[in-house]
């Protein structure tokens, strides 16, 4: 080596340049690497960064190359950020197309030509899925998966009928926060809300801890919020990775107050969305959801009110109708009863006026009749009695024994007694015959049946 | 005079009984005058009662119609 002539440094760099050019100048390669030391100068649209490879176990850097992007490379980075929502920044893993360059002053550098979007998207999605799986695995107490749906403790909290006291976690400068407040305050139903703002930075995974402390602040405030609203929206589509953070997802899932998200993410739902009680697409929609929720309650109350009024009116009108009917019949019926009773009394009174007089008159009449009868029938009676008496005397006279004897009949006495029985008289017996005024003795000489008709008058 | 406890219904029942007795002329002349006197008292009582009830009812009805 010592016999060789020393050369100038520029000669060496030229030799290196030539050797590298022979090996790499005409080609480009796709490499997988992580980004560090990133700086961006917008005015020049120039990215400076290191591409590194880390040992998967120790995380120690095992390869590092200074890199840059400008022109077409810078344009592809802008497109990448637009599409993935992932900022080209430190600690991201990328698949990039690079060419190797050498500069005598700046040394070896990689020039970024293109960046693969799908690789990063896939990596992000894988990371997201891994985080979700970890949330379910490590927190069985308050996160579980049923089919494609994540059921969290927060999701199972009942929403208060009215959401009025609200804690908002948002960025102070966020247009989404203004949209939310504007929509809430200008609701057309006159609903009033009490909103407490908990400002934090809601972008960049590195700010997860600060975000988390705000959530804890809401919890320890001691205020009984009806809901916690997480707002992130408007502006450029940049970094939503904070909402895919494991700790934030876990905190939201476990949070004892219903969480409503209004994260203006145009792509997938974030993990925070999946863990929250209710997710809406934008801050404005979050406000609309709350207003609608309260509106439903108000509508129900209105309906109750309407029903109560209608039912009450129905009851009143039915009552009034029944009363009117009763009043009418009461008036009518009571008058009828009085009229009827009056009529009865009058009838009796009129009978009382005439009837007793008639009774007395009738009795008097009877008396007079009786007196008249006595007067008329007294003498007549005596006369009749006398007539009857005379009749009896004449009959008696006709039937007297003297008259009978005088008409030719005789009395026969046997043993001193008058007899009319021929069987008691025998032939030869002594009898006495009385004829007119003479009594004669005789003996019975014969006794025969007599069938003469002498007495047949 | 009337006993304090006399009601329209009992007065009317008694009056109706007397009236029936008199109508059918089964009443004894011995008590006729007494019965007629009693009947007259009962009629006065019933009419007084009816009149006072009627005026009271009319007053209530008037009030009722004023309210409705």
If you count them, how many residues does chain A have? 457
Greater confidence (A332 vs A31) lies with: A31
By Cβ distance, the residue of B22, B27, B47 closest to A351 is: B22
What average pLDDT does the segment A416-438 reach? 85
Q: What strands, in cross-sheet order, belong to the sheet with A227-232?
A: A194-199, A165-170, A227-232, A259-263, A278-280
- Alpha-carbon distance A440 to A374, whole Å? 59
A319 reaches B (C-beta below 8 A): no
Question: In the structure, what pLDDT confidence band is assigned to residue A30 with cuts at 50, 70 and 90?
Answer: very high
SS3 state of residue A209 = helix
SS3 state of residue A258 = coil
With a pLDDT cut of 90, the percent of chain A lying above it is 39
B6 reaches A (C-beta below 8 A): no
A336 pLDDT more than 60 = yes
A-chain CB neighbours of B33 within 8 Å are 356
If you count them, how many residues does chain B have? 68
A324 reaches B (C-beta below 8 A): yes
B13 reaches A (C-beta below 8 A): no
Residue A113: Cβ-neighbour burial (10 angstroms; 0-12, 13-18, 19+): middle
Closest CA to A74 of A120, A29, A108, A113: A113
B-chain CB neighbours of A363 within 8 Å are 29
- Alpha-carbon distance A288 to A282, whole Å? 10
B19 reaches A (C-beta below 8 A): yes
Question: In the structure, what pLDDT confidence band is assigned to residue A239 with cuts at 50, 70 and 90?
Answer: low
Question: In the structure, what pLDDT confidence band is assigned to residue A238 with cuts at 50, 70 and 90?
Answer: very low
Angle at A82 between CA A80 and CA A87, to 5 degrees: 70
B54 reaches A (C-beta below 8 A): yes
By Cβ distance, the residue of B12, B50, B61 closest to A331 is: B61
B-chain CB neighbours of A335 within 8 Å are 57
CA of B67 vs chain A CAs: smallest distance (Å): 12
Question: In the structure, what pLDDT confidence band is assigned to residue A125 with cuts at 50, 70 and 90?
Answer: confident
Residue with tokens 């997201």: A128
**Predicted pLDDT at A69:** 93
Residue A232: phi and psi, rounded to 5, are -160, 115
Q: pTM for this structure?
A: 0.54
- Alpha-carbon distance A112 to A95, whole Å? 10
* pLDDT digit string, tens, across residues B17-63: 988 888 888 888 888 889 888 988 988 898 888 888 888 888 887 88
A-chain CB neighbours of B12 within 8 Å are 341, 344-345
């Amino acid at each position: 080596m010592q016999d060789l002539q020393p050369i100038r440094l520029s000669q060496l760099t030229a030799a290196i340049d030539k050797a590298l050019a022979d090996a790499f100048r005409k080609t480009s390669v796709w490499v997988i690497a992580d980004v560090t030391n990133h700086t961006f100068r917008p005015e020049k649209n120039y990215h400076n960064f290191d591409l590194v490879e880390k040992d998967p176990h120790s995380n120690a850097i095992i390869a590092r190359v200074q890199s840059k992007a400008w022109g077409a490379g810078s344009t592809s980075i802008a497109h990448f950020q637009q599409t993935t929502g992932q900022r080209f920044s430190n600690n991201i893993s990328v698949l990039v197309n690079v060419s190797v360059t050498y500069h005598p002053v700046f040394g070896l550098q990689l020039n970024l030509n293109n960046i693969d979007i799908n690789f990063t998207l896939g990596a992000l999605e894988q990371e997201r899925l891994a985080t979700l799986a970890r949330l379910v695995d490590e927190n069985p107490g308050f996160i579980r998966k049923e089919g494609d749906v994540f059921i969290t403790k927060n999701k199972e909290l009942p929403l208060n009928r009215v959401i009025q006291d609200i804690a908002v976690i948002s960025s102070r400068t966020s247009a989404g926060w203004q949209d939310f407040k504007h929509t809430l305050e200008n609701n057309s139903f006159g609903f009033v809300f009490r909103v407490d703002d908990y400002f934090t930075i809601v972008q960049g995974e590195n700010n997860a801890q600060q975000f988390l402390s705000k959530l804890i602040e809401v919890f320890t405030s001691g205020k009984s919020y009806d809901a916690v609203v997480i707002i992130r929206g408007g502006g450029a589509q940049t970094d939503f990775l904070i909402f895919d953070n494991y700790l934030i997802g876990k905190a939201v899932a476990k949070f004892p107050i219903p969480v409503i998200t209004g994260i203006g993410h145009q792509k997938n739902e974030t993990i925070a969305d999946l863990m929250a009680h209710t997710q809406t697409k934008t801050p404005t929609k979050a406000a609309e959801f709350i207003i609608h929720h309260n509106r439903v309650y108000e509508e129900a109350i209105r309906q109750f009110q309407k029903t109560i009024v209608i039912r009450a009116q129905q009851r009143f009108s039915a009552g009034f109708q029944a009363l009117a009917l009763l009043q009418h019949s009461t008036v009518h019926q009571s008058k009828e009863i009085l009229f009827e009773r009056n009529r009865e009394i009058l009838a009796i009174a009129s009978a009382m006026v005439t009837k007793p007089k008639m009774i007395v008159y009738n009795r008097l009449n009877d008396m007079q009749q009786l007196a008249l009868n006595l007067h008329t029938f007294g003498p007549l009676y005596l006369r009749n009695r006398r007539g009857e008496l005379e009749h009896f005397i004449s009959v008696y006279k006709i039937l007297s024994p003297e008259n009978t004897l005088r008409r030719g009949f005789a009395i026969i006495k046997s043993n001193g007694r008058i007899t009319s029985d021929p069987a008691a008289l025998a032939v030869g017996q002594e009898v006495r015959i009385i004829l007119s005024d003479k009594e004669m003795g005789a003996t019975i000489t014969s006794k025969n049946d007599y069938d003469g008709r002498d007495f047949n008058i | 005079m009337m006993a304090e406890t006399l009601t329209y219904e009992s007065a009317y029942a008694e009056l109706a009984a007397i009236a029936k007795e008199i109508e059918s002329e089964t009443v004894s002349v011995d008590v006729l005058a007494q019965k007629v006197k009693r009947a007259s008292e009962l009629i006065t009582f019933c009419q007084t009662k009816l009149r006072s009830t009627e005026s009271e009812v009319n007053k209530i009805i008037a009030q009722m119609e004023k309210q409705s």
